[in-house]
């Protein structure tokens, strides 16, 4: 009478010890505007808090490899100017969703009156004097980001962003600027109301590269992350910034929904801003 029981126990143990099988599959879809029915390019797509993600191309198409281990996680689609859309990974994979429609987002723009002249311009971040120390993107995955944290005690209007570039092996580069407000449990929220793209050619890096942001009406007060995002495939190459390891920290993440990490020392990225009421 004991033999069947022993056999059942052994079978149960074998099942428990069997290796957990993870299945991977590529999924291809297209992102559209729900309002216009036109494709939406350069949409961030990623599994929340995981290093799995990508960015749609200029025609809204993307392909993403998803492992079954993420079935209970959430896959988010986000783009400045649109409401984010989130799917349960299992639902997205099982239903083989081929088209994603994003709702347009309406932003409430606030006006601020400038009360100081430009002699009161302040610097957020730190210019870095060129030496032998440099740092660059740790990954070349679409959606990867790196940047700096800034603390702003009084309301400011951003005038420009400046980059101290040490080396660039590309003929030219283009990145997307993101500015995230640190918001407690909500994490980091992008405060930009329209996309900002930063581009320059290799021959321009012999001095600080400056991009005018005055027309974007970017107001800051509080704690923020200012980052550059690789949103478009640049091919093989690297971009390095002058860095200083004695103060500050550089923030980075591998994908658009991945977890943020820091490393000691700040890269040569800083902003000029003007105090406002």
Regions of the chain where pLDDT drops below 70:
1-23, 109-119, 185-186
pTM of the model as a whole: 0.88
Q: What is the pLDDT of residue 246?
A: 81
pLDDT in tens, 92-141: 988 888 899 999 998 876 665 666 665 578 999 989 988 878 898 877 88
Annotated domain spans of the chain: 24-102, 118-275
Residues near 45 by beta carbon (within 8 Å), at least 6 away in sequence: 31, 53, 54, 55, 56, 62, 64, 75, 76, 77, 143, 256
Q: What is the pLDDT of residue 18?
A: 47
β 99-102/24-33 pair status? parallel
Q: What is the pLDDT of residue 7?
A: 52
β 99-102/61-67 pair status? unpaired
Q: Rounded to an integer, what distance in angstroms lies between the CA atom of residue 218 and that of residue 109?
A: 10
Domain 118-275 sits in CATH 2.40.50: no
Check if the beta carbon of residue 240 is closer than 8 Å to that of residue 167: yes
Fold category of 24-102 in CATH:
Immunoglobulin-like (2.60.40)
């Amino acid at each position: 009478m004991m033999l069947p029981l022993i056999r059942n126990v052994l079978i149960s143990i074998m099942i428990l010890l069997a290796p957990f099988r993870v299945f991977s599959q590529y999924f291809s879809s297209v992102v559209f505007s729900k309002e216009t029915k036109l494709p939406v390019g350069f949409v961030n797509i990623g599994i929340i808090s995981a290093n799995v993600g990508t960015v749609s191309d200029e025609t809204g198409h993307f392909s993403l490899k998803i492992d079954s281990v993420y079935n209970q996680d959430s896959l988010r689609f986000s783009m400045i100017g649109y409401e984010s859309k989130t799917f349960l990974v299992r639902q997205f994979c099982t239903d083989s969703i081929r088209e994603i429609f994003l709702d347009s987002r309406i932003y409430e723009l606030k006006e601020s009156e400038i009360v100081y002249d430009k002699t009161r311009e302040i610097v957020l971040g730190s210019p870095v004097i060129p030496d032998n120390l440099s740092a660059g993107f740790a990954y070349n995955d679409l959606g990867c980001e790196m940047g700096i944290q800034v603390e702003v005690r009084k309301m400011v209007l951003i005038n420009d962003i400046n980059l101290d570039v040490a080396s660039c092996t590309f003929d030219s580069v283009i990145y997307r600027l993101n500015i995230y407000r640190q918001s407690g449990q909500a994490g980091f929220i992008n405060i930009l109301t329209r996309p900002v793209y930063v581009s320059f050619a290799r021959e321009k890096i012999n001095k600080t590269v400056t991009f005018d942001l005055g027309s974007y009406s970017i107001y800051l007060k509080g704690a923020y992350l200012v980052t550059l995002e690789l949103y478009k495939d640049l091919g093989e190459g690297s971009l390095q910034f002058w860095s200083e390891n004695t103060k500050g920290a550089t923030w980075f993440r591998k994908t658009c929904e991945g977890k943020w990490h820091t490393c000691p020392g700040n890269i040569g990225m800083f902003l000029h801003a003007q105090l406002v009421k």
